[in-house]
Amino acid sequence: MKTGLAIQLGLLLPVIALLYSPAATAADICQQARQQQRPCVALVLGGGGARGGAHLGVIEQLERQQIPIDLVVGTSIGAFIGGLYASGHSASEIAARLENTPWADGFRDRVYRDEMPLRRKHKSDDLPVNLDLGVSEEGVRLPKGILSGQALAEILNGTFGPFANLKHFDDLPVPFRAVATDLLTQEEVILSDGSLVQAVQASMSLPGVVRPLELNGKLLVDGGVVNNLPISVARQLGVDRIIAVSIDSPLLRREQMESAFSVTEQLTSFLVRAGVQQQMQLLTERDLLLQPDLVNISMLDFGNIAQAVQSGRQSAIRFVQALADFSQPQKVYREWFSRFEHTDAAAVKIDNIALQNDSRLSDELLLARLELQPGDFYTERSIRRGLRQMYGLDTFERITQQLTVDDNGETLLTVRAEEKSWGPGYMNFRLMFEDDFRNNHQYQLAAGYTRSNLSPWGAEWHSELALGSNKYLHTELYWPLADSGFYTEASYHHRRDTQSLQDTQALSAGELKNTENSLLLSTGWNISDHARLQLGWTLRDGKYLLPSLYASQIGTDTVSYQRNGPEVQFIWDTLNSRSFPTRGIRLASNYRFLNDDALGTAVSSKSSSTEVLAAKTWQQHTLRTRWRFDHYNADEDSFALEQFNLGGFLNLSGYPADSLFGSQIQFGSLVYLYRLTEQKISFFNAPLYFGTSLERGRVRKDLFGASGGADATNWLWAGSVFLGWDTPLGPLYFGVGMAEQGESDYSDAVYLSFGKHY
């Protein structure tokens, strides 16, 4: 495959489109065949997801036997393979494309975490159950599909190149038709002009999975709904002979129908197969039907697409004698195949940019994130980065791009941004639990609501409610100050925490309960998508309910307090995942200079918290290190109003979660992860890891002076062995930990954890 292929046809086709050739008739499609005194042959490629690799195996055999094709008609994956072939790509070039196509990314609409703005990263971390339920005055609404199709469009653009709008698909090296379904009328829609990428995407938009694509005023979904083997389309265009390749799914056996999903799949197969059987009735004795053996390959099994290609080859080879009747002499075939020849082209320079902004955000904000200017060169990398930076705002349903050439020969890049249609408020969720099977467990269910785009610069109101072991209510108003990068924020937070205390001898020290109301007024600077600096003033009012062990020393079981003062926060975050990061660094530092009032004493305090998390991956191996430093210091050494926690899985594994407490914490860990398996293609990637950790930390243990302010544990070693699963709803861990305890003893624990980041 030649270099620069992603843009070669993107340059060629705009020039062809300028010719404005009239829409071809059936006679025009078969014109070369008539001139060469041979039959006019159509290649019809059916739908079937990953099973479509068989189409490539058939095309290889067609080239091998010198069979010219005058028309390609495809549905779904057949439109994808057929569109590439009709665009002038040989079988070997299509094979290279298939091998390098990241199919798994096509089922992941959200950009990766390290591509999100920092605020979106934190929302994704806090509420990983991304149902994205729309909330408005009309009630609760769901998206029109699991996926928006944004990632699929990105793959198609990268595969086909920046095609311009075509006057007609008959202008392609081989005339082409894609078949889609009108969602409102259930009618067959034959796509024969416009954007080739959008035509193929519409034909591949599986209803209920990928949201419908609006094209020419119609809501379009997968063509397989009405015509999964579009023989009728080829027949209507007047071809003489047809080679049809059917790859529809076989019916499930009794033992395979184990769930409601399998029953639904079987019913869908009934409908599709009935339509395919009707299409097969249109074949004559001069036509050829190929049905590759694909019984072991499912529609979404793109990890085995090479096996599907081989099945297509074998099917075509079995019909080598029948295909021989379609073969042409070498001179005739070479004349036909010359339309596939193309040369490398120079990079495309963008002369003008047009933004079609169908959202409440400002054009200036979107163009700034696009990071392209007139005079820049159009490359797959630059347009991909720009569109993903726009999509990372998490406010758009779909962003499309189109490259065209006007009458003056100037190149125009048109970008259309469509805001989510089911907003403007959205709800997402979090489920968390941790259990060490020794009466120490934590659980929490949280829901978050975001009212988006309150200003052209992305102001929003966000609230969260959490129930469980630790409860909280949080609400905030975030308001960017135009395009300066600066913002203001006001937030209120109410929390109720219960903490089981334990000393280093594994003896229970009772429960410490804390209720607090806090108000934070701040201003900040979004330095980049990865960094933020924030300065604020906090007001806190709360109380502690002490366990009897400490209440007896202090003389009261209730400690009310008030705190106020400035705080500074800096965050740098390039992690690609918060659950199982494989690359990047996260540094978070918070410094507070507060006036504290408790137990009849007023003091000035300084408090700091710093955490560093870094990850690096080599093939299946990942090393992750984490360092944490927390420190509280007041004018009086015995006064320790603020407490930090340590203990639990990957936080001195072997101890119960948060069981060690104090005003100073130092902790470090090194974690090794080996990726055992990775789901290559599905709606969600969910790799499974084996891991082990080495940890060390210590805690200065004092509580309002109850232990004299000088009690510090020794440095403690700990470690763990575990399995981790990166599920779509949050991380799942099962592991065993062991830690030093005292001078010569140790503490061990078995952990089951879900939805908690470490």
User: CA–CA separation, 563 vs 307, rounded Å?
Assistant: 66
Token duo for residue 246: 């059917």
Say which of 70, 132, 222, 248 is annotated catalytic.
222
Which position has the token pair 């600096």? 533
Asked about 597 being catalytic, the answer comes back as no
Alpha helices in 372-493 (DSSP H): 380-391
How many helical (H) and strand (E) elements, i.e. helices and strands, does the chain have? Answer: 17, 35
Residue ranges of alpha helices (H) inside 281-398 are: 305-318, 320-324, 330-337, 363-370, 380-391
Q: Collapsing DSSP states into helix, strand and coil, what is residue 274? A: helix
Residues 294, 274 contacting (CB under 8 angstroms): no
Instruction: List, in order, residues 6 or more apart from 516 with CB less than 8 Å away.
Output: 493, 494, 495, 540, 541, 542, 543
> Which residue of the set 70, 76, 579, 609 is catalytic?
76
3-state secondary structure of 275: helix
259 C-beta neighbours (distance < 10 Å), count: 9
Q: Is 87 a catalytic residue?
A: no
Asked if residues 54 and 308 have their Cβ atoms less than 8 Å apart, the reply is yes
Distance of alpha carbon 636 from alpha carbon 174, whole angstroms: 84
Angle at 55 (CA atoms; ends 54, 60), nearest 5 degrees? 100
> Are 555 and 542 a contacting pair, CB within 8 Å?
no
Beta bridge partners of 564: 539, 595
176 CB neighbour count, 10 Å cutoff: 28
Q: What whole-number distance in Å separates Cα of residue 161 and Cα of residue 352?
A: 19
Contact call for residues 700 and 715 (beta carbons, < 8 A): no
CA distance 478 to 475: 10
- Give the count of alpha carbons within 13 A of 238, CB side only: 10
Nearest to 516 by CA among 641, 656, 610, 429: 641
Rounded CA-CA distance 220/216 in Å is: 10
Q: What are phi and psi of 352, to 5 degrees?
A: -145, 150
Q: Which helix (H) or strand (E) holds 488?
A: strand 486-502
Determine how β-strand 41-45 pairs with β-strand 71-75: parallel
Q: CA nearest 531: which of 111, 121, 110? A: 121
Catalytic residues: 76, 222
